[in-house]
Structure 1
Amino acid sequence: MLSSTLKFANLSLVALTLLAYLAPLVNPNAFWPLSFLGLAFPALLFAHLAFILWWVLRRHAYVFFSLACLLVGGEHWGALLRWPAKPLPPTEKSFRVVSFNMGKILMGSPEQLDRQKKRLRELFLQLGEVDILCAQECNEYMAGTLLEQEGFPHHHRFRGTAVFSRLPILEAGEIPFENSVNSAHWVDVAIQGRRVRVFNVHLQSSRISYFTWKLSKNHDLQNPETWKGLRGILARYRATARMRARQAARLRQAVENSPYPVLLCGDFNEPPNTYTYRLLSRGLQDSFRLRGGGWGSTYAGVFPFLRIDYILADTSFRVLRHRVLRRPLADHYPVIADLEFR
């Protein structure tokens, strides 16, 4: 009986995973559940590994179902987990870009603010010489602190997104999103005499991690409120996934209209196995895919293993290095990429 149940569960997992492979191809405004499966990729992977271990220990042929399923989707898994790539050494012409969602930093009493400012200073010492910082959830107080502590000579802020630069900012523009406090903007910077357009974006958040955490505190399946909460989480994800797809379409148009080489940085609030990521990354280089290693997670919240923060570079650039600085300061980790012109 147990064996039959496990076989059925394994085949169901394979079917769900194959559907998840289709998530990047389907706009959530047409069919949103596939986007949700894309979000569940880390859980699907761990479930497959558990089944593989189970069947190997029992020397059962069912092991090949999960193995084959993982092999078929190798490109998808490579967006989350990679063998470490050897970084290229920096050169005189290389520059460093950081994308960092700074939510939940610099909050609290004056004493807490002083401690957090000190920790922020320590984090920037670990980041090294940052030439361009794309910050999300950066309010006016945070911006002032960064300008004071880190001494960036140039910056541009729009709503909660801000770009800080040691390189001259030549021009700036804004990409407001309808019915959302989230935003995107761009700045043109001069890098070694060449003009580059840097896009900084914070797409709509689902906040499902917060609502899931609340639901986990009361998970009595006999309680109607539990099911009401679950339906609320799914409804919220459906609405925000559709919003992100629309926001991404608007941002994509701005990227394609850029007359200059592009860097696209920010918090997409979507993992790489989704329609939104595929739309925004088309024709651009993902720094993690080229120079990353290990598990590429950038989110420090209640859902581990999520990679939702990115640095995407035009093919005019060579990616020398990618890393994620995992320090418990915000609910996201800063993403760092060293680049140079080809």
Structure 2
Amino acid sequence: MKHLGKALVYVIVAVNIFFAGLFLFSAYSPWIINPSVHPVLSCVGLVFPIFLFINLFFLFFWLFVRPRWALIAVCSFILCIGQIRTYMPINFRTEKLPDNKIKLLSYNVMGFNMQKKHTASDPNPILKYILKKKPDIICMQEFQFTSDKKFLTEVDINKALSDYPYHTKCNVSEKGTGNWLACYSKFPIISSRIIHYKSTYNGSAIYEVEVHGEIITLINNHLESNKLTKEDKDVYVNMIKDPETQKVKNGVRYLTRKFAEASAIRALQANTIAKEIAASKHSSIIVCGDFNDTPISYAHRVIAQGLHDAFTQSGSGLGISYNQHGFYFRIDNILISKNLAAYNCTVDKSIKESDHYPIWCYIAKQK
């Protein structure tokens, strides 16, 4: 391979530069592109990991063939180091935790596994998991229950979570279909209200919670879903299983349009949440929930400006939290203000009863 012709080397160099440019563009797309103006282009952040691994391939290729050209990939990685760390951080676990820590759990419970009844002999698996993890504050999305006593009722949930004397819920669906957000806390919830923005099904809620004598602002989010139907997901799965050229082109075009529509709506929602964060009367702020968007996205960037991403700060790996139909992304987040510190942030894959894995971490005031 060391005897590649000069012309062929330059062709490969040109291809490498092209993909390095796409890598940079995808990494910085949340700063360059407003989804409200260019919704389709805003989806380029979804393929950030693909361009990352393509450039990693070129790095090793050049190291074995023409080491000096490896500088192309090296430079692209240096320029994107912040985004790479945001997307897939590496941190060591903290064994000794601060005494003033609290444990926060955020979980899209997807209707508690079809509102399965909770009893002592046959517990609801999601409630059983929450009780086992013993968080101090729980923020839930798609919190659903029924009045039919054969299934999970609100009374059942409150009884199971009796260790949480403070709790509040709100229906964020304009259509009244019961898409609730809920917060259960061992600390007093002083106030609770919906954050109003454009959506027919999703939403956000803001709470004031008194923790160790200090009031913190806590925002629980379920941002605009991508509205992928079972048929849409089948298109994606079939495209992966049988990557025939025309099928891939049609599938990518169709799915991109759906992602783009939702991305444009999420951009406006993210702007509204960012205004709420900026207007907070309290210095300690926690923002969590299902963002329905990746760490390399306009929504994540806008909401996280001025905050730390708890997973980036104290987690490790890709932290994939959505786990269905071949769509594997970290779309669930915990963000904290800079006067707080996160420890051992974990996307917990031990429970699979929802299409999301829960995310939790310890949070303490910076000394």
Query: What is the TM-score when the length of structure 1 is the normalising length?
Result: 0.87
Structure 2 gap ranges (5+): 1-6, 147-151, 172-179
CA distance in 1, matches of 2:243, 2:159: 50
Q: Identify which of 308, 316, 334 aligns with 1:293.
A: 316
The answer on 1:239 being equivalent to 2:261 is yes
CA distance in 1, matches of 2:22, 2:362: 37
Q: Identify which of 311, 335, 338 aligns with 1:312.
A: 335
Structure 1 gap ranges (5+): none
CA distance in 2, matches of 1:106, 1:86: 31
- State the superposition RMSD in angstroms: 3.0
The answer on 1:217 being equivalent to 2:238 is yes
Q: Equivalent residue for 1:147? A: 158
Q: How many residues align?
A: 339
Q: Equivalent residue for 2:109? A: 102
1:100-152 CA deviation, whole Å, 9 max, x = no partner? 111264228879x999944324422552x211111111113468354232322
Q: Equivalent residue for 1:19? A: 25
Q: Is the 8 A contact 1:22 1:34 kept in 2?
A: no
Q: Is the 8 A contact 2:115 2:144 kept in 1?
A: no
Q: Is the 8 A contact 1:105 1:116 kept in 2?
A: no
Q: Is the 8 A contact 2:320 2:328 kept in 1?
A: yes
Name the SS of the counterpart of 2:221 in structure 1: strand
Q: Identify which of 216, 223, 245 aligns with 1:203.
A: 223
Q: Equivalent residue for 1:256? A: 278
CA distance in 2, matches of 1:107, 1:116: 15
- When structure 1 is superposed on structure 2, of 12-21 and 236-245 the one drifting more is 12-21
Q: Identify which of 36, 44, 51 aligns with 1:37.
A: 44
Query: What is the TM-score when the length of structure 2 is the normalising length?
Result: 0.81
Deviation, 1:49, is: 2.2
Q: Look at both structures and tell me which one has the larger radius of gyration over its CA atoms.
A: 2
CA distance in 1, matches of 2:153, 2:195: 19
What pairs with 1:62-211 in structure 2 (closer than 5 Å)?
62-87=69-94, 89-103=96-110, 105-107=112-114, 117-127=123-133, 129-141=134-146, 144=154, 145-151=156-162, 152-159=164-171, 160-208=180-228, 211=232
Deviation, 1:41, is: 1.4
| Identity across the alignment (%) | 22
Structure 1 residues 303 and 177, CA gap change in structure 2 (3 angstroms): farther
Structure 1 residues 217 and 244, CA gap change in structure 2 (3 angstroms): same
The answer on 1:56 being equivalent to 2:80 is no
